[in-house]
A and B are shown apart, each in its own frame.
Chain A
């Protein structure tokens, strides 16, 4: 029973990581119908931005919660700017071409960030400074670290925050209008370029939060870290229903639990295969995802 509960907690901790990244995927898709494959790599850049900021303030020797919040905000700002630049330089020029063009551009941006990252940061894995010292809480024989707990809590807060922004604010209304029909939204006087840039900035800032928090809990970072995690988060977003914010959360948690469960059996090395089998099954049998509603394409 202890083992089962522990694995459940392990699964939630892992799932929260996927959920954090899936939130950004799903939001950009919800507004632009663009699968931003570079999202996982922005998450990587977020971790590296946090790495350099934390080292600049020598946070490893002087851990503090306030400093961690500061580093996270700094990393969010850097990634938001990167997100805006990516949108301006790579996606906007092809926005009026077919959706496939954007998709291929997204893959190109992703590869650029991964291999550009190897040139700039080096391929050697770095270890993230411990801005908050790891602490373990035990209930009976079930353990959870403060860092895992933080990831779960932050993921839930961000989910509600995003829901609030999209459904309760003026800019959220504009985002939904752009998502509904871009040319008409522009005719109605909405600055669509600004709304889209804002969407990317927000999504990238979310990825940065994920990058910093995950690096705190699993301190190994390298330029390719966004590749597999990003793909799994994408699976999570599709599983929950891409474009659906609570769906991203649910999908992330389910993928995390599933992976943990597979790892716990003697088939641990099939873990990645299972995640992607889920993607295929979902696309075959419920393409709209668990929480998504299938909408017929408006003409």
Chain B
């Protein structure tokens, strides 16, 4: 009897949940006139505030340019709705749910940190609303589903670039890696560096772990120092990177310290003189003479009164790809826009934006050397590494 009841209950549950899944908001709700609403979620406050601000500013500039050029689909203006996720993954998924279910946006832009994009991407996939992340480089991000795209390179490539640069240009043979175990980005980048660097014949010491928000790295750095590495990779984000650099130099560790694009953030400047002899892989170089890049820099400077960083450039590119795709789709219908993004091939400020079958773009990376000049970080172009 009880068993029977249970079975019925279970059956009812399965039925109701299937039903619930089928009640997706139909794309027919999208109006065909008026403003085109595009959602963007980002870390405007909290640990990753610099990421959120830069990517949103980049996207705002792109949207402004699109509107000044007459909008999309026969004069419809684009409006960017921005949600702050406070640098928290659970808020990222809430923000995307709100943008899709309440604001009925036609597409979503964001996030920068892979962990937060990974938290929010399943929502966009479920509602079949295309999402383009400007800067989440973790490989798994676009594997969430066929509605998730990115306009940046991926970590397996970034790790390879960094490892090769350390081995070939810096002549490092023994390296240490510091990873932030809370960030998918850092974990993924660490794996890829380990793989490439040992593949080249170098020795990678056991990675040392820390957590986002840590502020005292002296103990782990002292352990690293004892093993006398030729170079150190710090694969986490900029707030910790700034402190790691300082504390490493305070401990007399003057070897090169390398990081990924996650170092690009305003707080990195607090590394000050410790930034000397450190290198990052990045998406674009502001020194690139390409008129596309220089015009973008000029427009960004005029609007926000500062130089764009690479995250801002990616935010700009993501919005431009979306605009171009909506035009080619001739509609704001989710599946149609998705197909158009999948076929995208446009020139961007961070390189040619051509989607491959895994919804990633394949682009070269640049290596930049960091300098501390007049209270700010100066990114000095070193070399470009092609995939």
A interface list, Cβ under 8 A from B: 2-3, 6-7, 10-11, 13-14, 122-125, 127, 130, 134, 136, 138, 141, 143, 145, 218-220, 259-261, 263-264, 266, 268-269
Contact = CB atoms under 8 A, between A and B. Distances in A.
B356 interface: no
Interface of B: 45-47, 49, 86-87, 181, 206, 208-211, 215-216, 218-220, 222-223, 225-226, 239, 242-243, 246, 249-252, 267, 270, 272
Contacts, number: 81
A141 B253 CA distance: 11
- Specify which of B86, B206, B215, B239 lies most central, judged by the most chain A CB atoms within 10 Å of its CB: B215
A264 B222 contact: yes
Given A14-B218, A124-B46, A220-B270, 20 more contacts: A6-B251, A7-B223, A10-B216, A14-B219, A122-B45, A123-B86, A123-B87, A127-B270, A130-B272, A136-B250, A136-B251, A143-B252, A220-B239, A259-B219, A263-B220, A264-B222, A264-B223, A266-B206, A268-B219, A269-B210
Nearest to B246: A134
A218 B216 contact: yes
A260 B250 contact: no
B219 A10 contact: yes
A241 B45 CA distance: 39
A127 B209 contact: no
Nearest to B218: A10
A268 B222 contact: no
Contacts of A266: 206
Closest 10 CB pairs of A and B: A263-B219, A124-B49, A127-B270, A3-B226, A260-B219, A10-B218, A218-B215, A123-B45, A123-B46, A6-B222
A43 B181 CA distance: 28
A268 B209 contact: yes
B250 A143 contact: yes
A129 B385 CA distance: 37
Nearest to A220: B215
B206 A7 contact: no
A13 B250 contact: no
Contact of B208 (A10, A130, A268): A268
A255 B87 CA distance: 30
Contact of B250 (A124, A145, A220): A145
- Specify which of B218, B220, B239 lies most central, judged by the most chain A CB atoms within 10 Å of its CB: B218
A30 B218 CA distance: 33
Contacts of A220: 215, 239, 242-243, 267, 270
B56 to A, nearest CB: 14
Given A127-B267, A269-B181, A264 B45 contact: no
Nearest to B43: A124
Contact of A10 (B47, B222, B242): B222
Contacts of A14: 216, 218-219
Nearest to B86: A123
B273 to A, nearest CB: 9
6 contacts: A7-B222, A10-B218, A123-B87, A143-B252, A220-B270, A268-B209
B205 to A, nearest CB: 11
Contacts of B226: 2-3
A141 B251 CA distance: 9
Contacts of B225: 3, 6
A130 B270 CA distance: 9
